[in-house]
């Protein structure tokens, strides 16, 4: 015989009927009772924290790698130089910072009137900024305060003052004749000779400091042909 009960205080070992041991079974829970038992969710905070930390580390590493790639690319294509001295007045002021296109002559040839940065032939550790006047094969004559290339007088709106020296040079292959815009106060080809093209770093393209001087570098076409 089975008796159903819902009182946990009953000692089933004490219940007998007609010397027959009774099987005491608990009364099944009703739907209403079972609904009162709400399972507690398992909180997994530690794995979430670990995933968040790994994601943060990944983002930092990714940012650093991209920054390094961008830095390397910018340095491969450009250089930054500081103008020192007055040899390029009035075009460039002492202390200006200039962006240099290092690939300008990988995709093209130097032109008369270009402002270039190069390693000083007498001390390659030094960098100079000057303007190209003569190309390979050109005959350059500086006479009576004027500059002539292949017999044509150059119109030079960018110079500070006319030169006060005399110079004649036939530019050899692989060489350039360069002058500073401040003709009377410049160490350039009139003083130390022509410049090997291999020493050219690139073409000046943009002044980015100080703020009042920000702008593109002007290059002039010096000859009609």
Work out the mean pLDDT of the chain and round it to a whole number. 85
Give the mean model confidence (pLDDT) for residues 69-78: 71
In a domain, 69, yes or no: no
Model confidence over 189-219: pLDDT tens digits? Answer: 999 999 999 999 999 999 999 999 999 999 9
Please count the structural domains in the chain.
Answer: 2
pLDDT at 28: 56
In a domain, 181, yes or no: yes
pLDDT at 84: 96
Above pLDDT 90, what percent of the chain? 63
Judge if 15 and 119 occupy the same domain. no
Provide the CATH number for the domain around residue 204. Answer: 2.10.109.10
In a domain, 23, yes or no: yes
Active-site residue set: 87, 130
Task: Compute and round to an integer the Cα radius of gyration of the chain.
Answer: 43
Residue 86 in this model has a pLDDT that exceeds 60: yes
CA 166, 219, 132 angle in degrees (round to 5)?
35
Judge if 100 and 178 occupy the same domain. yes
DSSP structural state of residue 7: -
Model confidence over 92-128: pLDDT tens digits? Answer: 999 999 999 999 999 899 999 999 999 999 999 999 9
pLDDT at 72: 72
**pTM more than 0.75:** no
Residue 150 in this model has a pLDDT that exceeds 90: yes
The tokens describing 18, both together, are: 């007609």
In a domain, 45, yes or no: no
Give the mean model confidence (pLDDT) for residues 1-23: 49
Give the mean model confidence (pLDDT) for residues 67-92: 85
Contact predicate 220/114, CB 8 Å: no
Closest-CA residue to 108 (of 20, 203, 39)? 203
């Amino acid at each position: 015989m089975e008796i159903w009960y819902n009182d946990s205080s009953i000692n089933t070992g004490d219940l007998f009927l007609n010397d027959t041991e009774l099987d005491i079974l608990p009364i099944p829970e009703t739907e209403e009772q079972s609904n009162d038992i709400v399972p507690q969710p398992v909180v997994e905070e530690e794995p979430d924290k670990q995933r968040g930390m790994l994601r943060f580390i990944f983002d930092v590493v990714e940012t650093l790698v991209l920054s390094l790639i961008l830095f390397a690319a910018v340095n491969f294509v450009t250089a930054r130089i500081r103008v020192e001295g007055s040899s390029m007045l009035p075009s460039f002021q002492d202390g200006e910072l200039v962006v240099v296109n290092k690939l300008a002559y990988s995709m093209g040839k130097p032109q008369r009137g270009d402002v270039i940065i190069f390693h000083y032939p007498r001390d390659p550790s030094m960098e100079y900024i000057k303007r190209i006047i003569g190309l390979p094969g050109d005959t350059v004559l500086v006479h009576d305060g004027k500059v002539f290339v292949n017999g044509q007088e150059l119109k030079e709106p960018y110079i500070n003052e006319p030169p006060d020296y005399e110079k004649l040079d036939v530019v050899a292959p692989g060489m350039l004749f360069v002058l500073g815009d401040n003709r009377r106060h410049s160490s350039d080809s009139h003083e130390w000779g022509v410049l090997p093209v291999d020493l050219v770093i690139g073409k000046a393209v943009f002044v980015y400091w100080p703020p009042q001087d920000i702008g593109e570098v002007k290059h002039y076409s010096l000859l009609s042909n």
